[in-house]
Amino acid sequence: MRISTITNWAYAITVVLTALSGAAFIMSSRSAVQERLAVEEHLTFDTLAEELALGAEVRSDEARLYVMHGEERHLQAFRAEEEGERRHEAAAAKLASQDLSPTEAGALQEIDTEAEELDKIEITAIEAFQRGDRSGAQGMLFGPEHERLQAALLDTVTHFRDLTATRTGMQLQAAQARSDWWGLVAKIMLAITGLLFLGVLYFILRRRVAVPLVRMTGIVGRLAKQDYTVDVPADPRRDEIGEMNQAIQIFRANGIERERLDAERRADQRTKDLILQMMHRLQACANGAELADVVARFAPQIFPDIAGGLYVLDGSQVSLTRASAWLDPHHSEVTFPASACWGLRRGRPHASGGDDADVSCLHLDGAEVTALCVPLTAQGDTIGLLYLEERGGKALRLESSRLYLELIAENVGLAIANLQLREKLTALAARDPLTGLFNRRFLDETLERYSRDLADQPLACLMIDIDHFKRFNDEFGHDAGDMVMRYVGRVLRDVVGQSGHAFRFGGEEFTILLPGLSEAEGFQLAEELREKVSSGVLSHSGRIIGSVSISLGVAASPMEGSVETLVARADAALLKAKSQGRNQTVAASRGGR
Protein backbone atom coordinates (compact mmCIF):
# COMPACT_ATOMS: atom_id res chain seq x y z
CA MET A 1 0.00 0.00 0.00
CA ARG A 2 1.24 3.48 -0.78
CA ILE A 3 2.57 5.59 2.07
CA SER A 4 0.20 8.44 1.22
CA THR A 5 -2.78 6.05 1.47
CA ILE A 6 -1.53 4.66 4.78
CA THR A 7 -0.96 8.19 6.06
CA ASN A 8 -4.44 9.31 5.00
CA TRP A 9 -6.03 6.29 6.67
CA ALA A 10 -3.99 6.85 9.82
CA TYR A 11 -4.97 10.54 9.81
CA ALA A 12 -8.66 9.70 9.36
CA ILE A 13 -8.61 7.04 12.10
CA THR A 14 -6.74 9.44 14.41
CA VAL A 15 -9.36 12.14 13.80
CA VAL A 16 -12.20 9.67 14.46
CA LEU A 17 -10.55 8.33 17.61
CA THR A 18 -9.84 11.86 18.81
CA ALA A 19 -13.48 12.83 18.20
CA LEU A 20 -14.68 9.73 20.02
CA SER A 21 -12.28 10.47 22.89
CA GLY A 22 -13.64 14.03 23.08
CA ALA A 23 -17.22 12.76 23.03
CA ALA A 24 -16.36 10.26 25.77
CA PHE A 25 -14.80 13.02 27.86
CA ILE A 26 -17.90 15.19 27.30
CA MET A 27 -20.18 12.33 28.39
CA SER A 28 -17.93 11.72 31.38
CA SER A 29 -18.15 15.41 32.28
CA ARG A 30 -21.95 15.35 31.95
CA SER A 31 -22.07 12.28 34.20
CA ALA A 32 -19.92 14.16 36.69
CA VAL A 33 -22.38 17.09 36.55
CA GLN A 34 -25.26 14.68 37.14
CA GLU A 35 -23.32 13.21 40.02
CA ARG A 36 -22.86 16.69 41.49
CA LEU A 37 -26.56 17.50 41.02
CA ALA A 38 -27.52 14.25 42.76
CA VAL A 39 -25.28 15.16 45.69
CA GLU A 40 -26.72 18.67 45.84
CA GLU A 41 -30.28 17.32 45.68
CA HIS A 42 -29.52 14.87 48.46
CA LEU A 43 -28.09 17.66 50.62
CA THR A 44 -31.01 19.92 49.87
CA PHE A 45 -33.60 17.31 50.83
CA ASP A 46 -31.70 16.28 53.89
CA THR A 47 -31.20 19.88 55.04
CA LEU A 48 -34.84 20.74 54.46
CA ALA A 49 -36.07 17.71 56.39
CA GLU A 50 -33.64 18.47 59.18
CA GLU A 51 -34.76 22.07 59.36
CA LEU A 52 -38.43 21.04 59.35
CA ALA A 53 -37.90 18.64 62.22
CA LEU A 54 -35.71 21.06 64.15
CA GLY A 55 -38.02 23.98 63.46
CA ALA A 56 -41.03 22.04 64.78
CA GLU A 57 -39.17 21.15 67.99
CA VAL A 58 -37.94 24.74 68.53
CA ARG A 59 -41.41 26.21 68.00
CA SER A 60 -42.89 23.66 70.33
CA ASP A 61 -40.30 24.52 72.99
CA GLU A 62 -40.87 28.28 72.62
CA ALA A 63 -44.65 27.79 72.83
CA ARG A 64 -44.30 25.67 75.99
CA LEU A 65 -41.93 28.19 77.60
CA TYR A 66 -44.32 30.97 76.85
CA VAL A 67 -47.34 29.27 78.45
CA MET A 68 -45.20 28.28 81.38
CA HIS A 69 -43.50 31.58 82.14
CA GLY A 70 -45.55 34.05 80.14
CA GLU A 71 -42.49 35.88 78.88
CA GLU A 72 -43.03 37.86 75.74
CA ARG A 73 -39.66 36.94 74.23
CA HIS A 74 -40.72 33.34 73.95
CA LEU A 75 -43.81 34.40 72.06
CA GLN A 76 -41.70 36.45 69.68
CA ALA A 77 -39.32 33.51 69.18
CA PHE A 78 -42.34 31.29 68.53
CA ARG A 79 -43.62 33.66 65.90
CA ALA A 80 -40.14 34.02 64.31
CA GLU A 81 -39.86 30.27 64.08
CA GLU A 82 -43.32 30.19 62.58
CA GLU A 83 -42.21 32.53 59.82
CA GLY A 84 -39.14 30.34 59.14
CA GLU A 85 -41.36 27.30 59.12
CA ARG A 86 -43.55 28.91 56.50
CA ARG A 87 -40.49 29.58 54.35
CA HIS A 88 -39.43 25.99 54.76
CA GLU A 89 -42.89 24.87 53.85
CA ALA A 90 -42.76 27.06 50.69
CA ALA A 91 -39.35 25.49 49.80
CA ALA A 92 -40.81 22.05 50.45
CA ALA A 93 -43.72 22.89 48.17
CA LYS A 94 -41.26 23.98 45.50
CA LEU A 95 -39.31 20.73 45.89
CA ALA A 96 -42.58 18.83 45.69
CA SER A 97 -43.13 20.36 42.26
CA GLN A 98 -39.86 18.69 41.08
CA ASP A 99 -39.42 15.09 39.96
CA LEU A 100 -40.09 13.27 43.24
CA SER A 101 -41.16 9.71 43.54
CA PRO A 102 -44.78 9.12 44.72
CA THR A 103 -43.56 7.77 48.04
CA GLU A 104 -41.34 10.80 48.60
CA ALA A 105 -44.16 13.15 47.59
CA GLY A 106 -46.56 11.37 49.99
CA ALA A 107 -44.05 11.57 52.84
CA LEU A 108 -43.50 15.26 52.17
CA GLN A 109 -47.27 15.85 52.13
CA GLU A 110 -47.64 13.95 55.39
CA ILE A 111 -44.95 16.14 56.96
CA ASP A 112 -46.84 19.25 55.89
CA THR A 113 -50.12 17.89 57.32
CA GLU A 114 -48.60 16.87 60.63
CA ALA A 115 -46.76 20.18 60.90
CA GLU A 116 -49.98 22.12 60.29
CA GLU A 117 -51.88 20.10 62.91
CA LEU A 118 -49.06 20.65 65.38
CA ASP A 119 -49.09 24.38 64.61
CA LYS A 120 -52.85 24.56 65.19
CA ILE A 121 -52.52 22.99 68.66
CA GLU A 122 -49.68 25.34 69.59
CA ILE A 123 -51.49 28.43 68.30
CA THR A 124 -54.68 27.37 70.10
CA ALA A 125 -52.68 26.87 73.31
CA ILE A 126 -51.07 30.33 73.02
CA GLU A 127 -54.45 31.93 72.42
CA ALA A 128 -55.86 30.10 75.47
CA PHE A 129 -52.95 31.31 77.56
CA GLN A 130 -53.51 34.82 76.42
CA ARG A 131 -57.19 34.54 77.46
CA GLY A 132 -56.00 33.49 80.85
CA ASP A 133 -56.50 29.76 80.57
CA ARG A 134 -53.02 28.86 81.67
CA SER A 135 -53.72 25.33 82.68
CA GLY A 136 -55.70 24.60 79.51
CA ALA A 137 -52.89 25.96 77.42
CA GLN A 138 -50.29 23.87 79.27
CA GLY A 139 -52.56 20.85 78.96
CA MET A 140 -52.72 21.20 75.21
CA LEU A 141 -48.92 21.69 74.79
CA PHE A 142 -47.95 18.97 77.22
CA GLY A 143 -50.82 16.67 76.39
CA PRO A 144 -50.65 13.28 74.65
CA GLU A 145 -52.02 14.60 71.35
CA HIS A 146 -49.25 17.13 71.05
CA GLU A 147 -46.64 14.47 71.92
CA ARG A 148 -48.18 12.09 69.40
CA LEU A 149 -48.17 14.66 66.59
CA GLN A 150 -44.62 15.75 67.41
CA ALA A 151 -43.33 12.17 67.43
CA ALA A 152 -45.21 11.36 64.21
CA LEU A 153 -43.71 14.47 62.56
CA LEU A 154 -40.21 13.42 63.55
CA ASP A 155 -40.83 9.86 62.30
CA THR A 156 -42.21 11.15 59.00
CA VAL A 157 -39.19 13.49 58.56
CA THR A 158 -36.85 10.60 59.23
CA HIS A 159 -38.75 8.42 56.76
CA PHE A 160 -38.61 11.22 54.14
CA ARG A 161 -34.87 11.60 54.68
CA ASP A 162 -34.38 7.89 54.24
CA LEU A 163 -36.41 7.90 51.02
CA THR A 164 -34.51 10.84 49.50
CA ALA A 165 -31.17 9.45 50.64
CA THR A 166 -31.92 6.12 48.98
CA ARG A 167 -33.04 7.70 45.72
CA THR A 168 -30.23 10.27 45.49
CA GLY A 169 -27.72 7.60 46.49
CA MET A 170 -28.85 5.44 43.60
CA GLN A 171 -28.68 8.45 41.24
CA LEU A 172 -25.21 9.27 42.57
CA GLN A 173 -24.01 5.70 42.03
CA ALA A 174 -25.48 5.64 38.50
CA ALA A 175 -23.86 8.99 37.70
CA GLN A 176 -20.54 7.78 39.11
CA ALA A 177 -20.78 4.56 37.08
CA ARG A 178 -21.57 6.48 33.90
CA SER A 179 -18.76 8.93 34.58
CA ASP A 180 -16.30 6.11 35.25
CA TRP A 181 -17.44 4.23 32.13
CA TRP A 182 -17.17 7.25 29.85
CA GLY A 183 -13.82 8.14 31.40
CA LEU A 184 -12.59 4.61 30.72
CA VAL A 185 -13.84 4.85 27.13
CA ALA A 186 -12.04 8.19 26.70
CA LYS A 187 -8.81 6.74 28.15
CA ILE A 188 -9.05 3.70 25.87
CA MET A 189 -9.61 5.97 22.86
CA LEU A 190 -6.64 8.10 23.87
CA ALA A 191 -4.49 4.98 24.33
CA ILE A 192 -5.52 3.65 20.91
CA THR A 193 -4.78 7.08 19.39
CA GLY A 194 -1.36 7.13 21.06
CA LEU A 195 -0.57 3.60 19.92
CA LEU A 196 -1.68 4.46 16.40
CA PHE A 197 0.53 7.54 16.46
CA LEU A 198 3.49 5.51 17.74
CA GLY A 199 2.78 2.84 15.11
CA VAL A 200 2.72 5.46 12.39
CA LEU A 201 5.97 6.92 13.71
CA TYR A 202 7.72 3.54 13.93
CA PHE A 203 6.33 1.51 11.07
CA ILE A 204 5.67 4.31 8.60
CA LEU A 205 8.10 7.12 9.36
CA ARG A 206 10.99 5.00 10.61
CA ARG A 207 10.80 1.59 8.91
CA ARG A 208 9.07 2.53 5.66
CA VAL A 209 10.44 6.07 5.24
CA ALA A 210 13.45 6.97 7.39
CA VAL A 211 15.46 3.74 7.09
CA PRO A 212 14.98 3.39 3.27
CA LEU A 213 15.70 7.10 2.80
CA VAL A 214 18.94 6.86 4.78
CA ARG A 215 19.99 3.84 2.71
CA MET A 216 19.03 5.54 -0.55
CA THR A 217 20.82 8.73 0.52
CA GLY A 218 24.11 6.82 0.67
CA ILE A 219 23.38 5.15 -2.67
CA VAL A 220 22.47 8.46 -4.33
CA GLY A 221 25.60 10.05 -2.87
CA ARG A 222 27.81 7.38 -4.43
CA LEU A 223 25.92 7.59 -7.72
CA ALA A 224 26.39 11.37 -7.69
CA LYS A 225 30.14 10.68 -7.49
CA GLN A 226 29.69 8.37 -10.53
CA ASP A 227 30.42 5.30 -8.43
CA TYR A 228 28.20 2.91 -10.37
CA THR A 229 29.59 -0.14 -8.55
CA VAL A 230 27.17 0.55 -5.71
CA ASP A 231 24.50 -2.13 -5.35
CA VAL A 232 20.87 -0.94 -5.43
CA PRO A 233 18.84 -3.65 -3.64
CA ALA A 234 15.52 -4.59 -5.20
CA ASP A 235 12.49 -3.23 -3.36
CA PRO A 236 9.18 -4.90 -4.35
CA ARG A 237 7.05 -2.39 -2.46
CA ARG A 238 4.44 -0.56 -4.49
CA ASP A 239 4.72 2.80 -2.75
CA GLU A 240 6.62 6.06 -3.06
CA ILE A 241 9.83 4.54 -1.62
CA GLY A 242 9.55 1.64 -4.08
CA GLU A 243 9.11 4.13 -6.93
CA MET A 244 12.13 6.09 -5.70
CA ASN A 245 14.13 2.84 -5.53
CA GLN A 246 13.08 2.00 -9.10
CA ALA A 247 14.04 5.51 -10.20
CA ILE A 248 17.47 5.07 -8.56
CA GLN A 249 17.90 1.70 -10.29
CA ILE A 250 17.00 3.33 -13.63
CA PHE A 251 19.41 6.19 -12.86
CA ARG A 252 22.18 3.69 -12.04
CA ALA A 253 21.46 1.67 -15.20
CA ASN A 254 21.49 4.87 -17.26
CA GLY A 255 24.73 5.92 -15.58
CA ILE A 256 26.34 2.54 -16.30
CA GLU A 257 25.14 2.70 -19.90
CA ARG A 258 26.36 6.29 -20.21
CA GLU A 259 29.73 5.30 -18.72
CA ARG A 260 29.93 2.38 -21.14
CA LEU A 261 29.12 4.66 -24.07
CA ASP A 262 31.66 7.19 -22.80
CA ALA A 263 34.26 4.44 -22.52
CA GLU A 264 33.45 3.29 -26.05
CA ARG A 265 33.58 6.88 -27.24
CA ARG A 266 36.93 7.41 -25.51
CA ALA A 267 38.25 4.13 -26.90
CA ASP A 268 36.95 5.07 -30.35
CA GLN A 269 38.51 8.52 -30.06
CA ARG A 270 41.79 6.98 -28.88
CA THR A 271 41.70 4.61 -31.87
CA LYS A 272 41.08 7.54 -34.20
CA ASP A 273 43.92 9.50 -32.58
CA LEU A 274 46.28 6.55 -32.94
CA ILE A 275 45.27 6.08 -36.58
CA LEU A 276 45.80 9.80 -37.19
CA GLN A 277 49.22 9.66 -35.52
CA MET A 278 50.12 6.61 -37.61
CA MET A 279 49.01 8.40 -40.79
CA HIS A 280 51.19 11.39 -39.97
CA ARG A 281 54.20 9.18 -39.35
CA LEU A 282 53.55 7.09 -42.46
CA GLN A 283 53.66 10.23 -44.55
CA ALA A 284 57.00 11.16 -42.99
CA CYS A 285 58.68 7.78 -43.58
CA ALA A 286 61.75 7.95 -45.81
CA ASN A 287 61.89 4.26 -46.74
CA GLY A 288 60.04 0.98 -46.49
CA ALA A 289 61.86 -0.13 -43.32
CA GLU A 290 60.66 2.95 -41.45
CA LEU A 291 57.14 2.45 -42.74
CA ALA A 292 57.08 -1.20 -41.64
CA ASP A 293 58.36 -0.20 -38.18
CA VAL A 294 55.66 2.49 -37.83
CA VAL A 295 52.93 -0.04 -38.70
CA ALA A 296 54.39 -2.58 -36.26
CA ARG A 297 54.44 0.03 -33.49
CA PHE A 298 50.93 1.43 -33.90
CA ALA A 299 48.97 -1.69 -34.95
CA PRO A 300 49.13 -3.38 -31.49
CA GLN A 301 48.03 -0.11 -29.87
CA ILE A 302 45.01 0.20 -32.18
CA PHE A 303 44.17 -3.53 -31.98
CA PRO A 304 45.74 -4.70 -28.68
CA ASP A 305 44.36 -8.24 -28.91
CA ILE A 306 45.22 -8.93 -32.54
CA ALA A 307 48.56 -10.15 -33.84
CA GLY A 308 49.55 -9.52 -37.42
CA GLY A 309 52.09 -8.60 -40.02
CA LEU A 310 52.69 -6.30 -42.99
CA TYR A 311 53.50 -8.03 -46.29
CA VAL A 312 54.83 -6.24 -49.38
CA LEU A 313 54.88 -7.52 -52.97
CA ASP A 314 58.32 -7.90 -54.49
CA GLY A 315 59.35 -6.25 -57.74
CA SER A 316 58.09 -9.20 -59.76
CA GLN A 317 54.60 -8.80 -58.28
CA VAL A 318 54.52 -12.57 -57.69
CA SER A 319 55.37 -13.17 -54.02
CA LEU A 320 54.92 -11.35 -50.74
CA THR A 321 57.50 -10.95 -47.99
CA ARG A 322 56.80 -9.99 -44.38
CA ALA A 323 58.16 -6.50 -43.81
CA SER A 324 57.18 -6.28 -40.11
CA ALA A 325 55.13 -8.13 -37.49
CA TRP A 326 53.58 -7.41 -34.08
CA LEU A 327 52.46 -9.54 -31.13
CA ASP A 328 54.18 -12.58 -32.62
CA PRO A 329 51.85 -14.08 -35.28
CA HIS A 330 52.39 -17.85 -35.66
CA HIS A 331 50.14 -19.13 -38.42
CA SER A 332 51.25 -17.34 -41.59
CA GLU A 333 54.40 -17.94 -43.63
CA VAL A 334 57.07 -15.26 -43.83
CA THR A 335 57.14 -15.43 -47.63
CA PHE A 336 54.44 -16.87 -49.88
CA PRO A 337 53.11 -16.46 -53.43
CA ALA A 338 50.43 -13.87 -54.02
CA SER A 339 48.15 -16.61 -55.32
CA ALA A 340 48.20 -18.27 -51.86
CA CYS A 341 46.02 -15.50 -50.37
CA TRP A 342 42.29 -15.42 -51.07
CA GLY A 343 42.20 -11.78 -50.03
CA LEU A 344 44.58 -10.85 -52.86
CA ARG A 345 42.69 -13.08 -55.29
CA ARG A 346 39.35 -11.50 -54.46
CA GLY A 347 40.68 -7.97 -53.97
CA ARG A 348 38.80 -7.57 -50.68
CA PRO A 349 39.22 -8.54 -47.00
CA HIS A 350 39.02 -12.28 -46.49
CA ALA A 351 38.43 -14.05 -43.14
CA SER A 352 39.77 -17.57 -42.63
CA GLY A 353 38.37 -19.84 -39.91
CA GLY A 354 36.04 -18.61 -37.15
CA ASP A 355 32.40 -19.49 -36.59
CA ASP A 356 31.40 -18.58 -40.14
CA ALA A 357 34.15 -20.73 -41.62
CA ASP A 358 35.30 -19.65 -45.09
CA VAL A 359 37.99 -21.03 -47.37
CA SER A 360 41.30 -20.75 -45.53
CA CYS A 361 44.21 -19.05 -47.25
CA LEU A 362 47.02 -21.34 -48.41
CA HIS A 363 49.71 -19.32 -46.64
CA LEU A 364 48.28 -20.36 -43.25
CA ASP A 365 49.66 -23.40 -41.44
CA GLY A 366 46.28 -25.16 -41.29
CA ALA A 367 45.77 -24.66 -37.54
CA GLU A 368 42.35 -23.77 -36.12
CA VAL A 369 42.78 -20.03 -36.10
CA THR A 370 40.72 -17.05 -37.13
CA ALA A 371 42.68 -14.84 -39.50
CA LEU A 372 41.93 -11.85 -41.69
CA CYS A 373 43.77 -10.76 -44.84
CA VAL A 374 43.25 -7.15 -45.97
CA PRO A 375 44.74 -6.31 -49.41
CA LEU A 376 46.73 -3.09 -49.68
CA THR A 377 45.96 -1.23 -52.88
CA ALA A 378 46.80 2.14 -54.39
CA GLN A 379 45.20 3.50 -57.56
CA GLY A 380 43.83 0.06 -58.37
CA ASP A 381 47.19 -1.74 -58.02
CA THR A 382 47.79 -4.33 -55.28
CA ILE A 383 51.03 -3.59 -53.47
CA GLY A 384 50.85 -5.62 -50.27
CA LEU A 385 48.80 -7.30 -47.58
CA LEU A 386 47.78 -6.53 -43.99
CA TYR A 387 47.52 -9.86 -42.14
CA LEU A 388 45.72 -10.21 -38.76
CA GLU A 389 45.12 -13.26 -36.58
CA GLU A 390 43.44 -13.93 -33.24
CA ARG A 391 45.63 -13.88 -30.14
CA GLY A 392 44.92 -15.53 -26.81
CA GLY A 393 41.68 -17.12 -28.00
CA LYS A 394 40.01 -13.73 -28.63
CA ALA A 395 38.08 -13.80 -31.89
CA LEU A 396 38.52 -11.10 -34.49
CA ARG A 397 35.68 -8.61 -34.71
CA LEU A 398 35.72 -7.83 -38.37
CA GLU A 399 32.39 -5.98 -38.52
CA SER A 400 33.14 -3.58 -35.64
CA SER A 401 36.67 -2.86 -36.93
CA ARG A 402 36.02 -2.95 -40.69
CA LEU A 403 35.96 0.84 -41.09
CA TYR A 404 39.25 1.26 -39.22
CA LEU A 405 40.84 -1.67 -41.05
CA GLU A 406 39.87 -0.24 -44.41
CA LEU A 407 41.12 3.20 -43.36
CA ILE A 408 44.45 1.78 -42.13
CA ALA A 409 44.83 -0.45 -45.19
CA GLU A 410 44.10 2.45 -47.51
CA ASN A 411 46.61 4.74 -45.84
CA VAL A 412 49.29 2.06 -45.52
CA GLY A 413 48.80 1.17 -49.20
CA LEU A 414 49.05 4.81 -50.24
CA ALA A 415 52.13 5.30 -48.05
CA ILE A 416 53.83 2.24 -49.59
CA ALA A 417 52.88 3.39 -53.08
CA ASN A 418 54.23 6.87 -52.33
CA LEU A 419 57.50 5.42 -51.05
CA GLN A 420 57.86 3.18 -54.09
CA LEU A 421 57.11 6.09 -56.37
CA ARG A 422 59.56 8.24 -54.45
CA GLU A 423 62.22 5.54 -54.76
CA LYS A 424 61.56 5.32 -58.49
CA LEU A 425 61.81 9.07 -58.86
CA THR A 426 64.95 9.12 -56.74
CA ALA A 427 66.43 6.36 -58.86
CA LEU A 428 65.56 8.25 -62.02
CA ALA A 429 67.16 11.38 -60.62
CA ALA A 430 70.28 9.65 -59.26
CA ARG A 431 70.84 6.78 -61.73
CA ASP A 432 71.68 6.48 -65.38
CA PRO A 433 68.68 4.91 -67.15
CA LEU A 434 70.86 2.93 -69.58
CA THR A 435 73.28 1.24 -67.21
CA GLY A 436 71.46 1.50 -63.91
CA LEU A 437 74.55 3.10 -62.34
CA PHE A 438 74.51 6.36 -60.41
CA ASN A 439 74.77 9.44 -62.64
CA ARG A 440 77.17 12.36 -62.69
CA ARG A 441 75.00 14.60 -60.49
CA PHE A 442 74.87 11.98 -57.75
CA LEU A 443 78.67 11.61 -58.06
CA ASP A 444 79.11 15.32 -57.43
CA GLU A 445 76.81 15.17 -54.39
CA THR A 446 78.68 12.15 -53.01
CA LEU A 447 82.06 13.81 -53.41
CA GLU A 448 80.75 16.97 -51.76
CA ARG A 449 79.48 14.94 -48.81
CA TYR A 450 82.86 13.16 -48.46
CA SER A 451 84.68 16.47 -48.72
CA ARG A 452 82.48 17.99 -46.03
CA ASP A 453 82.05 15.16 -43.57
CA LEU A 454 84.63 12.44 -44.31
CA ALA A 455 87.64 14.30 -45.62
CA ASP A 456 90.00 12.49 -43.23
CA GLN A 457 88.74 8.99 -44.17
CA PRO A 458 90.51 6.87 -46.86
CA LEU A 459 88.79 7.01 -50.25
CA ALA A 460 89.90 5.51 -53.55
CA CYS A 461 88.60 6.63 -56.94
CA LEU A 462 88.64 4.71 -60.25
CA MET A 463 88.11 6.46 -63.60
CA ILE A 464 87.17 3.96 -66.36
CA ASP A 465 86.87 4.32 -70.11
CA ILE A 466 85.74 1.69 -72.67
CA ASP A 467 88.47 1.24 -75.26
CA HIS A 468 87.56 1.99 -78.88
CA PHE A 469 83.87 2.39 -78.02
CA LYS A 470 83.17 4.30 -81.26
CA ARG A 471 83.98 1.11 -83.16
CA PHE A 472 80.98 -0.69 -81.67
CA ASN A 473 78.62 2.10 -82.70
CA ASP A 474 80.08 2.38 -86.19
CA GLU A 475 80.28 -1.34 -87.00
CA PHE A 476 77.32 -2.77 -85.10
CA GLY A 477 75.03 0.20 -84.49
CA HIS A 478 74.02 2.21 -81.48
CA ASP A 479 71.98 -0.63 -80.03
CA ALA A 480 75.12 -2.70 -79.86
CA GLY A 481 76.93 0.22 -78.24
CA ASP A 482 74.15 0.46 -75.65
CA MET A 483 74.47 -3.25 -75.01
CA VAL A 484 78.22 -2.84 -74.41
CA MET A 485 77.49 0.00 -72.00
CA ARG A 486 75.00 -2.12 -70.06
CA TYR A 487 77.47 -5.03 -70.02
CA VAL A 488 80.24 -2.92 -68.55
CA GLY A 489 77.86 -1.37 -65.99
CA ARG A 490 76.68 -4.83 -64.87
CA VAL A 491 80.27 -6.01 -64.40
CA LEU A 492 81.06 -2.90 -62.38
CA ARG A 493 78.09 -3.52 -60.07
CA ASP A 494 78.95 -7.19 -59.64
CA VAL A 495 82.60 -6.64 -58.82
CA VAL A 496 82.21 -3.53 -56.66
CA GLY A 497 79.14 -4.88 -54.79
CA GLN A 498 78.86 -3.36 -51.31
CA SER A 499 82.47 -2.14 -51.34
CA GLY A 500 81.72 1.13 -53.10
CA HIS A 501 79.55 3.02 -55.62
CA ALA A 502 79.67 2.90 -59.40
CA PHE A 503 78.79 5.97 -61.50
CA ARG A 504 78.43 6.73 -65.20
CA PHE A 505 80.62 9.77 -65.58
CA GLY A 506 79.51 10.54 -69.09
CA GLY A 507 79.62 8.91 -72.55
CA GLU A 508 81.61 5.69 -72.25
CA GLU A 509 83.37 6.83 -69.06
CA PHE A 510 82.61 5.47 -65.57
CA THR A 511 83.68 6.34 -62.02
CA ILE A 512 83.95 4.15 -58.95
CA LEU A 513 84.32 5.46 -55.36
CA LEU A 514 85.73 2.98 -52.83
CA PRO A 515 85.45 4.21 -49.21
CA GLY A 516 88.07 2.88 -46.82
CA LEU A 517 90.47 1.67 -49.58
CA SER A 518 93.91 2.95 -50.26
CA GLU A 519 95.33 3.58 -53.74
CA ALA A 520 97.03 0.17 -53.80
CA GLU A 521 93.81 -1.62 -52.81
CA GLY A 522 91.97 0.39 -55.42
CA PHE A 523 94.55 -0.62 -57.99
CA GLN A 524 93.98 -4.34 -57.23
CA LEU A 525 90.22 -3.91 -57.64
CA ALA A 526 90.78 -2.03 -60.89
CA GLU A 527 92.79 -4.91 -62.27
CA GLU A 528 90.08 -7.34 -61.27
CA LEU A 529 87.54 -5.18 -63.10
CA ARG A 530 89.70 -4.99 -66.20
CA GLU A 531 90.16 -8.76 -66.36
CA LYS A 532 86.48 -9.41 -65.67
CA VAL A 533 85.34 -7.08 -68.48
CA SER A 534 87.80 -8.44 -71.01
CA SER A 535 86.92 -12.05 -70.23
CA GLY A 536 83.49 -11.85 -71.81
CA VAL A 537 82.65 -12.26 -75.52
CA LEU A 538 79.62 -10.28 -76.70
CA SER A 539 77.22 -10.76 -79.58
CA HIS A 540 74.36 -8.66 -80.92
CA SER A 541 71.62 -9.71 -83.32
CA GLY A 542 73.47 -12.91 -84.14
CA ARG A 543 76.75 -11.16 -84.82
CA ILE A 544 79.86 -11.66 -82.74
CA ILE A 545 81.02 -8.33 -81.32
CA GLY A 546 84.03 -9.77 -79.55
CA SER A 547 85.63 -8.86 -76.26
CA VAL A 548 85.59 -5.46 -74.60
CA SER A 549 88.57 -3.84 -72.89
CA ILE A 550 88.72 -0.90 -70.52
CA SER A 551 91.37 1.54 -69.35
CA LEU A 552 91.50 2.64 -65.71
CA GLY A 553 93.07 5.44 -63.67
CA VAL A 554 93.36 5.14 -59.87
CA ALA A 555 93.77 7.89 -57.26
CA ALA A 556 93.22 8.07 -53.48
CA SER A 557 92.90 10.55 -50.62
CA PRO A 558 93.76 11.95 -48.23
CA MET A 559 97.34 10.67 -48.21
CA GLU A 560 97.89 11.31 -51.94
CA GLY A 561 95.76 14.46 -52.12
CA SER A 562 92.47 16.05 -51.15
CA VAL A 563 89.01 14.81 -52.05
CA GLU A 564 88.43 17.91 -54.20
CA THR A 565 91.25 16.83 -56.58
CA LEU A 566 90.48 13.10 -56.38
CA VAL A 567 88.53 12.76 -59.66
CA ALA A 568 90.92 15.03 -61.50
CA ARG A 569 93.93 12.98 -60.41
CA ALA A 570 92.18 9.69 -61.31
CA ASP A 571 91.17 11.14 -64.69
CA ALA A 572 94.79 12.20 -65.35
CA ALA A 573 95.91 8.66 -64.59
CA LEU A 574 93.21 7.36 -67.02
CA LEU A 575 94.48 9.65 -69.78
CA LYS A 576 97.95 8.32 -69.17
CA ALA A 577 96.69 4.71 -69.39
CA LYS A 578 94.99 5.49 -72.70
CA SER A 579 98.09 7.20 -74.02
CA GLN A 580 100.16 4.17 -73.11
CA GLY A 581 98.11 1.83 -75.26
CA ARG A 582 94.82 1.29 -73.37
CA ASN A 583 93.59 -1.92 -71.64
CA GLN A 584 95.67 -1.13 -68.56
CA THR A 585 95.50 0.48 -65.11
CA VAL A 586 97.58 3.48 -64.04
CA ALA A 587 97.91 4.72 -60.45
CA ALA A 588 98.11 8.49 -60.09
CA SER A 589 100.89 8.41 -57.49
CA ARG A 590 103.07 5.85 -59.32
CA GLY A 591 102.49 6.95 -62.89
CA GLY A 592 102.30 3.38 -64.25
CA ARG A 593 100.79 -0.06 -63.89
| Angle at CA of residue 261, ends 257 and 263, nearest 5° | 115
DSSP state of 356: S
Q: How far apart are the first and last CA of the chain?
A: 119
Residue 394 Ramachandran class (φ > 0 left, ψ -120 to 50 alpha, else beta) = beta
Neighbours of 237 (CB within 10 A): 15
Looking at the DSSP assignment, which residues form a beta bridge with residue 326?
Answer: 308
> Which of 421, 551, 446, 548 has the alpha carbon at shortest distance from 438?
446
> Which of 481, 458, 464 has the alpha carbon at shortest distance from 541?
481
> Which of 381, 400, 437 has the alpha carbon at shortest distance from 306?
400
Q: What are phi and psi of 352, to 5 degrees?
A: -110, 135
Neighbours of 303 (CB within 10 A): 22
CA distances from 549 to 140, 188, 306, 321, 519 (A): 206, 139, 59, 40, 22
As a whole number of angstroms, the distance between CA 385 and CA 412 comes to 10
As a whole number of angstroms, the distance between CA 541 and CA 559 comes to 48
The residues, ordered by sequence, that sit 6+ positions from 456 with a Cβ below 8 Å of its Cβ are 558
The residues, ordered by sequence, that sit 6+ positions from 83 with a Cβ below 8 Å of its Cβ are none
> Which of 454, 463, 577 has the alpha carbon at shortest distance from 513?
463
| 508 is known as an active-site residue | yes
As a whole number of angstroms, the distance between CA 438 and CA 434 comes to 10
Q: Identify the active-site residue in 85, 104, 122, 508.
A: 508
As a whole number of angstroms, the distance between CA 342 and CA 373 comes to 8
DSSP state of 431: B
Q: What are phi and psi of 237, to 5 degrees?
A: -65, 145
What is the strand order of the sheet 459-466 is part of?
Answer: 501-506, 509-515, 459-466, 550-557, 585-587
Dihedral of the alpha carbons of 296, 301, 304, 309, in degrees to the nearest 10:
-10
What type of residue sits at position 118? L
- Cite the active site residues: 508
